[in-house]
Amino acid sequence: MTNTAFTKFHIEMGAKMVPFAGYNMPVQYEGLVAEHHTVRKAVGVFDVSHMGEFWVKGPKAFDFVQKVTSNDVAALFDGKVQYSCFPNGKGGIVDDLLVYRVNEITYLLVVNAANIDKDWAWCVKQAEIMGLEVGKEIYNASDEIAQLAIQGPLALKAMQKLTDTTVTDMEYYTFKKLTFAGVKDVIFSTTGYTGSGGCEIYMANEDAEKIWKAVYEAGAEFGIKPIGLGARDTLRLEMGFCLYGNDINDTTSPIEAGLGWITKFTDAKNFIDKDYLSDQKKNGVKHKLIGFEMIDRGIPRQHYEICDANGNVIGEVTSGTMAPSLDMNIGMGYVNTPSAKADTEIFIKIREKLLKAKVVKLPFYKG
Amino acid sequence: MKIPENLKYTKDHEWLRVEGNEAFIGVTEYAQGELGDIVFIEVETVGETLEKEETFGTIEAVKTVSDMFMPVAGEVLEFNEELEATPELINQDPYGKGWIVKIKMTNNNQVAELLDAAAYKMLIGA
């Protein structure tokens, strides 16, 4: 199991540690629900150093990223971030990711921890086909980069104290390279997985300790607290954000997963699975990812069956939780397309009982 | 970690407090800590007579769900209704206000088969 640059701080602060995707990670500190509210109301810090980072550079970089990802890289400008996915050539998803455009020949791809090896193998295979030099034009920097997500309504105000570059007015999904807490070339990105605003900060492992301390000092007056993976999951689920391995995987297509908005079929863009996905978009899919709220009392969990009123199985839950900011039980799952419309009454099979729920539009949490 | 001397324990991290032929059942401080924030308790066995180790209810934390098992055989007499609205009592006071069910034991000899505080302490490595 790998430690991140921050593992020793988590242990010092009393976190409950768990193995996650091969990393020794904090699942909670004071308690999941309290941590969840800290992010919704103030500011919280997540160690997300386990995420993977690949650099793509050089004259073929644009064509490469355009081919391997589903979103339109041509829509990016310097300093812009885009949510995207890697289609797997069989109609499924290798991973979802963020694409950062530093300049027209330099891109950063940020991928899920659990998929770093798989994603890297996939990218290397495509890079070899397209003639990019592996290790140079495409480079896996995952082991060299530490990352913190500082999330919540007070996050940017708190972090502004650590840099002379203005960050409080940055648009959502943009980034700047700046000097932060005295450390040069930190990537400061207004992204996140919580729906409460804030930033994600990328730094070299050797600068991690200095930045960790500075972040807590700067955040103290705003009530900054460390947040574990438990609250990370409830926060993302309230937003209806997909979690790879739960809601999307090698067998679900981005169209089925409601990710049509990151799947662009412009004439100038050729990408893996373009024809297949374009056909799905035109002709429809058999099942779709939906969000649902429980009406009867019960908490949906991954792999529970979704049924119609007669108990016929029409799908399966992919994620579910009690939602601390909504005081409600919510879930996501795939259902047959005719049952995917908002307000459709569905039933979740929980301990042999059919409990009523209804399909709702995402996000669950509207701020 | 509190492990009261006057209670009996199971390897499933439940406690039993004997009062004559009746007993109260709950989960231990260790269990509530491992589960995290408890948000829902479901007990639909009131009035039923269950064997030792049969499921009498479920306990739901935000991220996990676990069955709860009878430490000894008995009739489920009462469910702690306060847990309906405030399941967090189990986190706050697992041995007191967080009790889950009251039972009438049908085989008092089984109490002796349970762990005492010292044995339970060893089990969890406290």
Q: What is the phi-psi region of residue A327: left when phi exceeds 0, alpha when psi lies from -120 to 50, beta otherwise?
A: left
From chain A, the residues in CB contact with B60 under 8 A are: 299, 322
Any domain includes B122: no
**Which of B62, B65, B83 to mutate to test binding with chain A, by most A CBs within 10 Å of its CB?**
B62
Instruction: Please indicate whether, in this complex, the C-beta atoms of A230 and B36 are within 8 angstroms of each other.
Output: yes
**How far is it, in rounded angstroms, from Cα A141 to Cα A216?**
26
CA atoms in the 13 A half-sphere facing the CB of B112: 3
Whole-number pLDDT of residue B126: 79
- State the residue for tokens 């306060």: B82
- Is B117 part of a structural domain of the chain? no
pLDDT attached to residue A15: 96
Contact A121, A177 (CB under 8 A): no
Candidates A230, A297, A351; nearest CB to B63 = A230
Supply the range of the domain harboring residue B22. 8-108
Q: What is the DSSP letter of A235?
A: H
**pTM exceeds 0.80, yes or no:** yes
Residue ranges for chain B with pLDDT beneath 50? none
Note whether A138 and A54 are within 8 A (CB): yes
- HSE toward the beta carbon, residue A143, CA cutoff 13 A: 6
Report the Cα A295 to chain-centroid distance in Å.
28
Q: Is the ipTM of this complex over 0.90?
A: no
CA atoms within 13 A on the CB side of B39: 22
pLDDT of the residue at A301: 97
User: What three-state secondary structure class fits B60?
Assistant: strand
Going along A172-311, which residue ranges are E strands?
Answer: 175-180, 183-189, 198-204, 225-226, 287-294, 305-307
Residue B83 located in a structural domain: yes
Establish if B81 belongs to a structural domain: yes
Asked if residues B59 and B65 have their Cβ atoms less than 8 Å apart, the reply is yes
| Cα A314 → chain centroid | 27
- Does a structural domain hold residue B75? yes
Chain A residue closest in CA terms to B33: A31
- CA A218 to mean position of chain CA atoms: 26
Structurally, chain B folds into a number of domains equal to 1
3-state secondary structure of A223: coil
- Interstrand relation of A328-336 and A16-20 (parallel, antiparallel or unpaired): unpaired
Q: What is the CATH number of the domain that holds B99?
A: 2.40.50.100
DSSP alpha helices (H): ranges in A31-149? 32-41, 61-68, 116-130
pLDDT at B63: 86
A351 touches chain B (CB under 8 A): yes
Query: Quick one: A143 exposed, middle or buried, by C-beta within 10 A (0-12, 13-18, 19+)?
Result: exposed
**Residues A126-154: pLDDT tens digits?**
999 999 999 999 999 999 999 999 999 99
Please indicate whether, in this complex, the C-beta atoms of B37 and A233 are within 8 angstroms of each other: no
Residue A324: the pLDDT is: 97
Residue A149: name the closest of A203, A78, A102 by CA: A203
8 Å CB contact of A32 and B40:
no
Question: Is there a contact between A18 and A48 (Cβ–Cβ < 8 Å)?
Answer: no
CA atoms within 13 Å, Cβ hemisphere of A46: 28
pLDDT < 70 stretches in chain A: none
Q: Mind listing the pLDDT tens digit for each residue in A288-345?
A: 999 999 999 999 999 999 999 999 999 999 999 999 999 999 999 999 999 999 999 9
Is the CB of B62 less than 8 angstroms away from the CB of A230? Answer: yes
Whether residue B62 and residue A301 make contact (CB cut-off 8 A), yes or no, is: no
The answer to whether position B126 is within a domain reads no
Q: Specify if B120 maps to a domain.
A: no
Q: Tell me whether residue B46 is in a domain.
A: yes
Chain B residues with a Cβ under 8 Å from any Cβ in chain A: 36-37, 39-40, 42, 58, 60, 62-63, 65, 91
